[in-house]
Chain A
Amino acid sequence: MDNNDFSQRSEGMQQVAELQNGEWNKLSPISIIYFTVRSIVDLANTFFYLIPVLALNFNKIKEQPLIIVVVASCILALFIIMGVLNYWFYRFRVGSDRIEIKQGVFKKSHIDLPFERIQNVKLSQPLYYRINDYSCIELDTAGSAKQEAKIVALKTDLAKQFRIKILETATEETSDDALASSVGSSNASNEIMLNRRSMRDLVIHGLTNNRIWIFLGALAPFYNAISDFLSQFFESIGFDAEVYFSLETQAWWEFGLHVLSVAMLIMLVIVSLSVVGAILMFYKYTLSKTQNRYIRRSGLLTKHEVSMKLSRIQIMVQAQDWLDVLLGRVNLSFEQNTSGVANASKAGEQMSNKLLVPSVTIEESLALMKDAMPSQTMGEQLFKPISKRYILRGLLFFAVPVGIFLFVAIFRDDLVVATTVSFSTVVLIGVILVIRWKRWGYSYDQEYFYLRKGFLGVNYYCFPLYKVQQAQFKQSIFIRPYQLASLKIVLASGAKLIPYMPANEVRNIINSILDQLVIDKRSWM
């Protein structure tokens, strides 16, 4: 590292030290923008269902443009006032080992958070903070606290130093060795780049994974307007949908071709939107590693930075959709505990209990997994199948009842149709069951359990046995005669059920997990 960098760093440390003077600090006024935007978003979320009403009355409103301007500016002014008030009442104080935040205009809250309870520190930089380089720091707590701890505006370099400071304090508690922590602090900024995603990778990710929800959610209120516009557009270019899709005026293959081409067109639009969504989310994706953490940075408009402690990873998931299988790509994610994390309920990729590496190749994914858990051998596992009775169960308890129901429902009208429909339904469900059965597979060694499952796509899971929270041996009287049983393993990141394994094997796995926990006293965190 060159000198310049070092001096900046020490300057940052000094600033952090200044922050820790035990005084109540105010935020930079730029946070007014943040609070304003947030209250607008909150309101939009709450009154989302009112938007169609507004859209319906749009024509009436259109006649009096002045009223809209007045109302809109009043609402905007209200939001800005709320933003200013929020800013005015926001105070934070940093002590040597804890941070306190007081906030709220009407509903006041006071958060007192010791550093060692902080599980994760997330930096995010919305677009409007980029002008003068501010960032939000979001602090995730382990435990049942549902409160959101967020320092809304700090200079980005200060925020970064502050994060290092918090994480060091948090690790000192676990590694009581003073030497180790001092080594940690000098290494903390020495990041190793593990993976970066190019634009090409993101395009592939957009193609294979449906990231369109990012748009569909935002576009929902305008569906009517869009369809109106489209029908007018088609009329104006002289396109008659009724003739285009009529079976009477054209041959069946012509009709099929038309349907196909429209479907292709829609697919094209969806896919390109999905690609844009992927780029919005994962632009300039980098995954880097410090001494004991993974850090993910990405984002086009709002930059996100998520870090996860390596030891907190509970399970590694290699997810492949059917298109991923064809292209040989994998979405690798590292999952940590979900219970009690304040932000666990947030949807999508923002979720901080997951660290996703989008659309890597299989080799890259295996290398990353090796890096996270060196002794694991996912690549060399031969998966054992589960019992074929899994298919039989599905047929008996699902396919046949559905078939009988359909038969009885249609029987009155037409015997032939009823027979064909119910028979083909049973066959279809049977095929699905066979494919699912083929995807199921498990394997284990001394330290790890490997699991494969899926339908059209395929997911691979790998978790260390010592992180198991609870194990269950499940056996119904229908499978007991055949010496089968299901294994349910509860991890801090969720439960995994492997159905219809040989009962002996389930017992052996449970016994070896329990025996290992007798000797192995490592923490799951």
Chain B
Amino acid sequence: MSSSTARSASGPGEVLVAEDLGVSIDHRNGSSTRLVEGLDLVIQSGSSTAVVGRSGSGKTTLLSVLGLMRPPSAGRLYIAGRDVGTLRPSVAAGLRNELLGFVFQNYSLVEHLSVFENVALPLMYGRRATRPQVRERVERQLTAVGLREFGRRRPRSLSGGEQQRVAIARALVRGPRLVLADEPTGALDTATGTSVMKHLQEATVEAGAALIVVTHDDALADSLHRRVDLSSREAAVAL
């Protein structure tokens, strides 16, 4: 069972709350580098947030903290009202499966699985879904991203844009509360990137989830509800 505890101050519609959050990376020689300090952030369902900053500013590391892949170095973090600051790895894995969806920069689809199987991958872990439920959910997501007929194909037979849409379908198939995207258009040309982002935003809103996108692209950041700028160590949150 989860070792997380419910946050008494959790407000309605709040998907993620960070209080005085610090993010640092530890080095093998025992030293550490602080990347983010004192970040206060509230993410509402249906909202979209861009995380921007220069290279090496800690955007991806922050995303890994928000994605429960590493613990924060300071402060408190709540997701869906649960204190998720310090979790056992197996509990974190369960919460990632249940509450979060991920879209990676280079799609990260499993090459030897079909499109259908890739989208169904999150359903292989965590809460058990019956075979009809799996089929229904996967087909719904593939339909939403316009790839219903592509279920039997292998990822390598798809274009970059199509692969990223498959990744979006995979991120949403469990019905997550929060979708975390790391440079989702980084490997795509501008037109395809715009189309994929449109899909991602629409699908996320339709799923009632919140979206956090790490990006270098100012235009993309501007198209989202707000941005978190990590250019200085003390992150600035702007609407």
Partners in one complex: no
